[in-house]
Structure 1
């Protein structure tokens, strides 16, 4: 269910929401989990950003970027420097907003694997949600890459039965992957809604089709199927809303993940 401080579901229904946003509200309100918001503005910000995540995912799919394992990743050296681990570190003196947009505008210059694609999608959606000024202020010196990279993106990771909604990142695990292709041990994907997901290197497909593709990349004679893991990742919407409203951000690291506290 949805709980909003000082408001109720009738107030939510008065918001100018798109059909996509109304579906998320309906699904969350019917959920056995409780989703608490400080205000109607907080809920609206999340819904808008989820829309921006979907748009960023589809735009990345259409951008011409290519799939490559970390060992063969590449980027536009005008904006990024490739690290020894295959991540992309933002060059000094470039505007973060321009560096992220370049990936979408000159996709043929880029190649990376699926976890990097998720971070790029989230970064683009954050940019579209909070604007250039705030993005350029809070995301300087960024590294885009795998989960251990200094992405500087405020993220929330939910495990063990968390419910996914459009705009969330999920993970399809392939436990019996072919060891000669370790980059197919799983697929990070953005949930698009209507049964579809975007996974870099696989495309926009249903969960059944993503699992089928991963099963083609298993050890010979394997009968262990790939499956959708109970893991949900999404940006910290409330922290980003505060940044958009002029709040101060402090980056902190907990384990392999980077969080922004405001």
Structure 2
């Protein structure tokens, strides 16, 4: 049974790896920031915004996303530094990091995740294989991550989690709020540090019921999180006989 599961995981990884590399074989490696340590924490932050429509195939990320990307990296590095400098938290353990740019774009987030997995597989193989022969090539890989922080959006997080859980790599979401991610049967190795959208939806519903509103309008963007949230909120309102609803979807977030 264990052999079958292992073969299945490697097969799934191979399919995703081939898909990404064949689809985008003309693209170079993305930059990363890495610091070695006893334990390496992987992180996916949107340093840049998603590629524009004209550059999607080349995966050329858009402009730098300072508020959502750079600021969060600074907080991440500051937190790790404080932990490493406080011997009462993890005595004798130095935390390292491996930060990658997700560009708020699922193909890039998946590619970076595959690179993390490659290091994990190479590390396992090097431990299980006895490299006694000088004729054998050494495995060129970084120390594998103990877990992954990010990416930012729920849609990207779900796709990355579907890949990581095949190899039992823990994932922590710092801003993924989709209610779907609360299903532990589907996302066993995922945990988050922010509330789920159902709390926000319930708060809005309580306001509607408190003031006896019968007409509710929603303006939202063409985004996975927004669509799921509005759909859930709409269902809950209909259950409570609030049926007259106006929903306006903005196709381009620049319209906001």
The interval holding the TM-score normalised by the smaller chain is under 0.3
| Larger radius of gyration between Structure 1 and Structure 2 | 2
Higher helix proportion (structure 1 or 2): 2
TM-score by length of structure 1 reads 0.23
Higher strand proportion (structure 1 or 2): 1
Which structure has the higher relative contact order (CA within 8 Å, separation 6+)?
Answer: 1
TM-score by length of structure 2 reads 0.23
